A = this chain, B = another copy of it.
Amino acid sequence: MDKDLVFKALADPTRRLMLDEFSERKEQTLYELMARLIMRHKVAISRQALAKHVDVLEEAGLVSSEKRGKYRMLVFDDGPLRTVMDRWLK
């Protein structure tokens, strides 16, 4: 696990909102996620922009994607978050 990629993923407020949603629902399609961001957080964002954010979360190991038919199912993993902060809190 590359901690730098995790912090890079956490740097953006939209991605942090995405993690908020994932912490409540571990599995979501990209469109479900977008709908929730719009409705619950009033985030105006395009599908492509959101897909880019998903890519960043994937590189950080916070999300894994799984092709299901024509949908791309996203699965949250909070593992990296649990380990990344041990650095300064001992």
Chain A residues engaging chain B, CB cutoff 8 angstroms: 4, 7-8, 10-11, 13, 16, 19-20, 22-23, 78, 81-82, 85, 87-90
A-B contact pairs, 25 of them (CB 8 A): A4-B13, A7-B10, A7-B11, A7-B13, A7-B16, A8-B11, A10-B10, A10-B11, A11-B11, A16-B87, A19-B87, A19-B88, A20-B87, A20-B88, A22-B88, A23-B87, A23-B88, A23-B90, A78-B88, A78-B89, A81-B85, A81-B88, A81-B89, A82-B89, A85-B85
Complex CA distance for A8 and B10, rounded to whole angstroms? 9
- Nearest chain B CB to A13's CB is how many angstroms away? 6
